[in-house]
Structure 1
Amino acid sequence: MIRNYIKIAFRNLWKDRTFTALNIIGLTTAFGIAFLLSMYALFELSYDRFHENIGSIYKVYTDEQTAKGTESSETNPIPFADALREEVPGVDKISRYVTGGTLLTYDGETFQVTSAGVDPEYFDIFSFPIVEGNKTNPISEKLSIVISRKVATAIFGKEMPIGKTVMVQSEGENVPVGISAVFENIPAASSMDVDVIVNIKNLPDSFYKNNLNNWSAHNHAVYMKLANGISPAQFEKSTKDFSALHYAENIANAKRDGAQADAKGNFRQIKLLPVEDQSFVVIKDGLLSVNKTLQYIVLGIAFLILFIASVNFINMSLAKSAQRLREIGMRKTLGAGKSQLFIQFWGESVIVFIVAVVLGGFLAFTLLKPFQTLFNTSASFSSISNPLIVFGAILCVLLITLIAGGYPAFMMSRMDTLQALKAKLKVNGNNRLRNVLMVVQFSIAIILISGTIVLWQQLDYLRNKDLGFNKEQVISFPINTKQDPNNVLQLLRNEFSTDPNILSVSAADNNFGLGRDGSRMRSVLGFDYKNRQVSTHLISVDYDYAETLDIELLEGRSFNRKYASDSLSVMINEAMVKELGEENPLNANLFLGDSIKYSVIGIVKNFNFESLSRGVQPLTLFMDGESPMGYVYVKVVPNNLADTYAGVRKVWNKIEPDTEFLGSFLDENIDRTLKRERHMTTMISSGSILAIILSCIGLFAISLLVVSQRRKEIGIRKVVGASVSTITVLLTKDFLKLVGIAFLIATPIAWYATSKWLENYVYRIDLNLWIFLAAGVMALIIAVLTISFRTIQAALKNPVESLKTE
């Protein structure tokens, strides 16, 4: 019996092979793209979830009440972690964590690696297993490090690395250290991607020992594992006395400056962020929040694509079912029961879906490598192989096939046999369902098109926004060297001084945007100024900084080699002038965290030195001749940028031949910070195109059926004198009404969704009605072109052929 059902199903599918092919093509494409998008979203959402104790691991951050409102901070002072463990109950394990880049040298070869300074309990908190060496306490010895399996292979090949000595570059000196252990390579879905781990106590004195009792210098993250039975809310509540004790001066200053306590009466609240959420942290208006919008939008697009393809399948199945009335009547005459008719229709739907799922999986497999490259992701089929996901997908397939095949079979099996044999059926109900589904289809398509237009405009706006500095002609690169960075900087100046393509050279302790080394740094200092607390971002710079970056000087002067006193001078931006509240800021003197007085010598125009997700913050530029500069800035002539870049790289390789040159133009660095926006724009654009294509496939198939059903009417109208245009309008107007209704439904939804999304940006475009009108017109034109192809063809046919076939 089952064999017979299958044989008849294949026969019927082959008989209507045009519609079968359209269904399979649409569903295959939808499944293939949905697989890829789901892989990406679920992989992103799986970040850091591989740790065994994930449910009890948290990152510690602080909400501080200030005169300007609540501000969040993820960094902490050196004594914070030990004091928290001793004074607040509920801490099981705790570790400080700070990352940076360093150089390892072995046997004359240099390797650039990412390092992390941590406490010994770090390996008890996180699941980074030790595979070789000291598994009990791998970073207990002063001059020892732990390296990843990847780095061990790169440096030592097949040799045993345990006990070997490498040279580590630290503050311009090479220090010999031993390798005590090797840890397993960190999984791709980890926010902690480091190659080398050291004890934080062994970091340079300027970072660690000099700040052992300093509660003002915040320079690292803190992670902790809560003790069993302690909830985050309980722990946060128990830290109130801790904050009151160690931050008494900060709280007193906040009250003095007019800060208001939070809803619980606190001026400073220690909070816990689940580690599984730390990859999705954003800072908006100074407050920390978790934003998974991109991942859920991608999942939503995958669902909508499948929904549109399924709607096509259901619509075509409902429309075709009316043409099989005689078959149903004959089957009922020969004794077929309702269940047999139901199984027959449902089985055909299941076969189409199974074929589409298999072909969709093959399509996803074929496109996986290019997809991973385009979106820089390690997502794979394992991301969607979760039993719960597979079970949910099977339920969806069963539901859709039941609607597409089971519903018409159920309705028609209840018909009178004689009525079925006459092939007479009132299809108004089916048409209503079809029309509703088509309106939903095109509403989704218009929403996606509108979203794509808004996203492209916002991305283009951010890319081309005037940031207040020259990003097109400036190359930046890290001074990742075994030599003294300041000596290397001077050597670079000497080499570049004879190159006519180099206009100026400067340096600073941080980069703009995101360079090729992937490093980011921010330094914020709070201090008292005229009996009130102010805060400022700090950037340590070299001479010619403003000139190299074309930062506009509004008042005063820039740092100058003629003035020895410039080591005790600062330049500030307009936002810092506002923070100080001075009418004549050039007369201001600042005490930046110590008793040394710094004089303001210049005011620069506001420029975006941070991410574009934040507004321009108060900034102080100062010169520190002792601290090494981290990045070089080279301003070049606008002509022959590629050749000039190659020349800069050649000079670097001459001075530091063992270290890779990681230079890039500043506009490239800024563009890297917009990775999230680029990915979202590409995915929604792709989803919009696919949604339109799938909607057109469904529209085209329905138009074929409508033309077929009204073939006699078309012939009669032509006989009595109707023109081709009249017949075309007659056949298309009903479909165009559906697109119009879809536009009216979709526009307010798209307006609301895009306006809410734009609120995440300090700098954003203004929404205009034409954006949504353009989306509606695009959908309308595409629908007209799709329908007209078949309707014009039908209207041009000889009416005699239509009437003879009846």
Structure 2
Amino acid sequence: MFRNYLKTAWRNLWKNKTYSTINILGLAIGMAACIVILLFVLYERRFDGMHGKNIYRLCEVQKFEGMVAPQNVALSMYPMGNTLKEEFPEVKDFVRVSGNGNVDLNYNGKRIFAERLAIVDSTFLKIFDFRVTAGQRESALMKPNSIVLTEKTAKNLFGNEDPVGKTVMRYIGDTTALMVTGVVIVPENSHLQFDGLVSFSTIYNPRMSQNWGGNWLTTYLVLEKNTNVAALEQKFPAYLKRHMAEDDRWKNYELFLQPLSAVHAGSTDITHDYLNAKKFDQRYTYIFSIIAIIILVIACINFMNLSTARSSERAREVGVRKAIGARRGQLSWQFMGESVLLSLMALAVALLVVKLVLPWVADFSDRRIELPLFTSPLALPVAIAATVLVGMLAGLYPAGYLASFEPVKVLKGSPQTGRNRGTLRNILVVGQFTAAVFLIIATIFALKQLRFMQTRDRGFNGEQVMLVGLDRDTNRKYDVIKQELLGNSLVNGVTASQQRLGGNIHQGGVVYHSGNGPRRELTSSGVVVDKDYLRVYKIPIIAGRDFSTDVGNNGREYVINETLARELLKEDKKGATMESLIGKMFGYMGIDSSGRIVGVAKDFNFNSLHHKIETLMMFNQKDFGYSEISVRIDGKRAKEAVAFVEGIWNQQAPGHPFKYSFLDQQFEQIYKADQQVSTVVAVLAGLAIIISCLGLFGLASFAAERRVKEIGIRKVLGASVQNIVTMLSRDFVKLVIIANLIAWPAAWLGVNTWLKDFAYRIDVSVWVFIIAGIIAVAIALFTVSFQAIRAGRMNPVQSLKSD
């Protein structure tokens, strides 16, 4: 019997090639979208899944005067790790991690550049379960001057030699000898990414243990199983008060714990998150999943619509089978089997599509996403089982409906084509296009917001700006390098800074004294800059002046932004202006009697447009050193300019690798997640439209076939092709218009909710909804008209000759 069902199903699919192809393609596209999104979501969910302990990251909420709003930060204080372990039995262990940036490593004359060297406690490899391929996990980081390399770094530095026990030289202005004590493998789906680990005892100073208030590292805690985290967090205010009672500083902080599983995808509201590679918003994974499921549902709707629409063609088959004794259950299983067979064929096409698009998806998402079809023993059985389930769900209603035909009626020529079935089919079409219109609107707004962020005037000119990293050694050569670069017309400006625009600018305490009252202590973002910084980045001065050329004779000079100026003016006498701030005493990280405000710069977005502009002060103090040179080059001769800069670098800093990037790339990275979301939503919206149109094409084709004699009669009576097209298109266009009316309010709510995440955002324009509706109607009209025109141009003699 099963063989007979299979043979009948295959014959039916082969007989109706057009409808079978539409169904298979629709289901295949829906399945492919679901599989790709599922692989992406699983990859995201497995971030940091290699670690087995109950690990939490310690984070702070900082609330200082001068801040636009309280900030969640991923930083903590050096003394917190050991004191938390001592005072709270819930804390089993801790590890502190500090990024040390770019470092040169040398072994027997071979020199490499380690971009991500981290300084960690000796407990790092005991807490985190990174795979150790050489050395002892427990003791590798116990002693000072110990370094554990990643497998990639070890390979680059030592080749095929065993690195353990060998000494490498670290260059950071002076030379430090480090002994390699281990090698580890760092998976790509770890939020902690590093090239090497140096023991904290290498740089330890007893003053660190008393540095309450200095936030410069990240602390991870291992908690006892079944710890009530909320109850533990409630004890933290008293803990802070015990250790920071002086000047009531503890009131400026709150502590909270973040589970390791949430660090990668649950930290979008956490700033100064320097150690969180490939940070992503978990809400987007939910959005992707929902959209993918919607697309699959649309594909299933296509199947149900086409199956029920073609019920009249199979009515006699059902009647004959019932007349010779077939039971309703048997017929239901037969039609369900056809649905499952079609789904399995769609799965084969979907897997082929996934295989073809995965390389692009991996490159686009910057994630090594693979299809584990044959590498995982459960992948293929699960895929087949899920496909069978989809086939059964998609075929459930058509099977039940077809099996319910009464043989007496259908054999007399009445296939029970009632209103209820047509109504349900119309509802399903409306549902399809409602989802499609919603996605079109979401795509347009996502692209508009992304375009807005990329093109909005940030308040500075960052075009054609090369960024070249500095260390303590090359800092000494900065003035010479700058003068050499400025001596060529390929370079339009050179400056330097301690931090990069677009990054999390460090914050620190500042002191302001207007002379009319008590001094004010605030917190502000601050960056050390070269005297030409504002000129090179073309940041306007709206009060006072720029930095002078000879800071040494004038004391420390500060240029503040408008936001900080407004904050300082809050407590000044009424009527005070920004000009009145010029010359006022201002100090950073403590009192500086010689420090003065010399200028107020126009506000500029030094961070993402997700966040409002914070208070900022810039000061020119060469003793602090710079981390990066900014070189504005002639964009028309970019290749020549880059080669010139490299030549000067190699001449003045021999042995130091020349690594550069452009500031535009920094902001592209900032908005990369937004770019990915916009692209994915656009692709999924396109797939939803394609699948919906496939279904609409099938229904229009079937409607034209069923009304072929009616069309022939109308043409004989004088109807034009346009009349025929209007007749066949009218009902479908009505359904799409209804779908628009349902989708618009839902999209309005969804878009407004999404845009709330941006401090600077576009307006929700009504014209976008109208355009989306026009697009949907036009696509539907085009799809239906294709079949309608074909039907309208048929020779009526052919359709009427049998009557």
**What TM-score do you get using the length of structure 2 for normalisation?**
0.92
Q: Number of matched residues?
A: 779
Please, which of 489, 509, 525 is the counterpart of residue 508 of structure 2?
A: 525
Structure 1 Cα separation of the partners of residues 23 and 671 of structure 2 = 38
Structure 2 Cα separation of the partners of residues 767 and 24 of structure 1 = 38
- Greater Cα shift, 44-53 or 561-570: 561-570
Q: 1:179 is paired with a residue of what secondary structure?
A: strand
- Greater Cα shift, 673-682 or 340-349: 340-349
Alignment of 1:664-675 (within 5 A): 664-675=661-672
Shift of 1:494: 3.2
User: In the alignment, does 2:340 pair up with 1:350?
Assistant: yes
The one-letter code matched in structure 2 to 1:753 is G
CA contact (8 A) 2:74 2:271 kept: no
Shift of 1:404: 4.0
Structure 2 Cα separation of the partners of residues 721 and 561 of structure 1 = 89
CA contact (8 A) 1:93 1:124 kept: no
Alignment of 1:17-56 (within 5 A): 17-53=17-53, 56=54
How far does the alpha carbon of each residue in 1:126-181 deviate from its partner, in whole angstroms, 9 at most, with x for none? 111322113221111111111111211221121110111111122x1121111011
CA contact (8 A) 1:111 1:659 kept: no
Alignment of 1:165-180 (within 5 A): 165-170=167-172, 172-180=173-181
User: In the alignment, does 2:256 pair up with 1:271?
Assistant: yes
The one-letter code matched in structure 2 to 1:32 is A
Q: 1:142 is paired with a residue of what secondary structure?
A: coil
Match of 1:57 in 2: 55
Structure 2 Cα separation of the partners of residues 441 and 573 of structure 1 = 51
Structure 1 Cα separation of the partners of residues 473 and 250 of structure 2 = 40
CA contact (8 A) 1:567 1:624 kept: no
CA contact (8 A) 2:44 2:265 kept: no
Q: 1:801 is paired with a residue of what secondary structure?
A: helix
Shift of 1:535: 0.8
Match of 1:693 in 2: 690
The one-letter code matched in structure 1 to 2:752 is S
Structure 2 Cα separation of the partners of residues 209 and 493 of structure 1 = 38
CA contact (8 A) 2:75 2:272 kept: no
Match of 1:106 in 2: 107
Alignment of 1:728-739 (within 5 A): 728-739=725-736
Structure 1 Cα separation of the partners of residues 374 and 543 of structure 2 = 59
- Greater Cα shift, 439-448 or 667-676: 667-676
Shift of 1:449: 0.7
Please, which of 291, 295, 298 is the counterpart of residue 285 of structure 2?
A: 295
Match of 2:515 in 1: none
Match of 2:492 in 1: 503
The one-letter code matched in structure 1 to 2:494 is V
Match of 1:161 in 2: 163
The one-letter code matched in structure 2 to 1:780 is V
How far does the alpha carbon of each residue in 1:632-673 deviate from its partner, in whole angstroms, 9 at most, with x for none? 011223432343233223333444454443323322221221
Alignment of 1:328-339 (within 5 A): 328-339=318-329
Please, which of 509, 517, 523 is the counterpart of residue 535 of structure 1?
A: 523
Please, which of 538, 543, 551 is the counterpart of residue 550 of structure 1?
A: 538
The one-letter code matched in structure 2 to 1:715 is G
Match of 1:144 in 2: 146
Return closer, same or farther for 1:285/1:193 CA change in 2, 3 Å cut-off: closer
Return closer, same or farther for 1:12/1:229 CA change in 2, 3 Å cut-off: closer
How far does the alpha carbon of each residue in 1:571-625 deviate from its partner, in whole angstroms, 9 at most, with x for none? 2111111222253211321232234332212221111112222111111112332
User: In the alignment, does 2:619 pair up with 1:622?
Assistant: yes
Return closer, same or farther for 1:386/1:234 CA change in 2, 3 Å cut-off: farther
Match of 2:426 in 1: 435
The one-letter code matched in structure 2 to 1:90 is E
Alignment of 1:477-496 (within 5 A): 477-479=468-470, 484-496=473-485
Match of 1:88 in 2: 88
Structure 1 Cα separation of the partners of residues 504 and 177 of structure 2 = 27
User: In the alignment, does 2:225 pair up with 1:236?
Assistant: no
The one-letter code matched in structure 1 to 2:38 is S
Please, which of 205, 214, 227 is the counterpart of residue 211 of structure 2?
A: 214
Return closer, same or farther for 1:253/1:213 CA change in 2, 3 Å cut-off: closer
- Greater Cα shift, 72-81 or 214-223: 72-81
The one-letter code matched in structure 2 to 1:127 is D
Return closer, same or farther for 1:287/1:751 CA change in 2, 3 Å cut-off: farther
CA contact (8 A) 2:474 2:653 kept: no
Structure 2 Cα separation of the partners of residues 408 and 560 of structure 1 = 81
Please, which of 579, 584, 587 is the counterpart of residue 583 of structure 2?
A: 587
Shift of 1:435: 0.8
CA contact (8 A) 1:509 1:540 kept: yes
Return closer, same or farther for 1:544/1:489 CA change in 2, 3 Å cut-off: same
Shift of 1:282: 4.5
Shift of 1:722: 2.1
User: In the alignment, does 2:700 pair up with 1:703?
Assistant: yes
User: In the alignment, does 2:562 pair up with 1:574?
Assistant: yes
Alignment of 1:76-475 (within 5 A): 76-99=76-99, 100-113=101-114, 114-170=116-172, 172-183=173-184, 185-203=185-203, 211-249=208-246, 251=248, 268-282=253-267, 291-382=281-372, 397-424=387-414, 425-475=416-466
- Greater Cα shift, 369-378 or 391-400: 391-400
Q: 1:194 is paired with a residue of what secondary structure?
A: coil
How far does the alpha carbon of each residue in 1:551-574 deviate from its partner, in whole angstroms, 9 at most, with x for none? 112222222333424552222111
Alignment of 1:753-792 (within 5 A): 753-792=750-789
**What TM-score do you get using the length of structure 1 for normalisation?**
0.92
How far does the alpha carbon of each residue in 1:742-799 deviate from its partner, in whole angstroms, 9 at most, with x for none? 0000011111111111110011111110001111100100111110011111112122
How far does the alpha carbon of each residue in 1:362-395 deviate from its partner, in whole angstroms, 9 at most, with x for none? 2211221122112211122249999999888667
Structure 2 Cα separation of the partners of residues 392 and 131 of structure 1 = 34
Structure 2 Cα separation of the partners of residues 527 and 269 of structure 1 = 21
Residue ranges of structure 1 left out of the alignment (5+ in a row): 255-266, 514-519
- Greater Cα shift, 469-478 or 157-166: 469-478
Match of 1:75 in 2: 75
Root-mean-square deviation over aligned CA pairs: 2.5
The one-letter code matched in structure 1 to 2:146 is S
CA contact (8 A) 2:123 2:138 kept: no
Return closer, same or farther for 1:406/1:300 CA change in 2, 3 Å cut-off: closer
CA contact (8 A) 1:505 1:548 kept: yes
CA contact (8 A) 2:304 2:397 kept: no
Percent identical among aligned pairs is: 31
How far does the alpha carbon of each residue in 1:406-451 deviate from its partner, in whole angstroms, 9 at most, with x for none? 4333333333212122331223222112111111111111111111
CA contact (8 A) 2:244 2:250 kept: no
The one-letter code matched in structure 2 to 1:684 is V
Shift of 1:287: 12
Structure 2 Cα separation of the partners of residues 439 and 250 of structure 1 = 65
Structure 2 Cα separation of the partners of residues 13 and 273 of structure 1 = 54
Structure 1 Cα separation of the partners of residues 224 and 294 of structure 2 = 43
CA contact (8 A) 2:74 2:270 kept: no
Match of 1:259 in 2: none
Shift of 1:488: 3.0
Residue ranges of structure 2 left out of the alignment (5+ in a row): 274-278, 513-517
Structure 2 Cα separation of the partners of residues 434 and 399 of structure 1 = 22
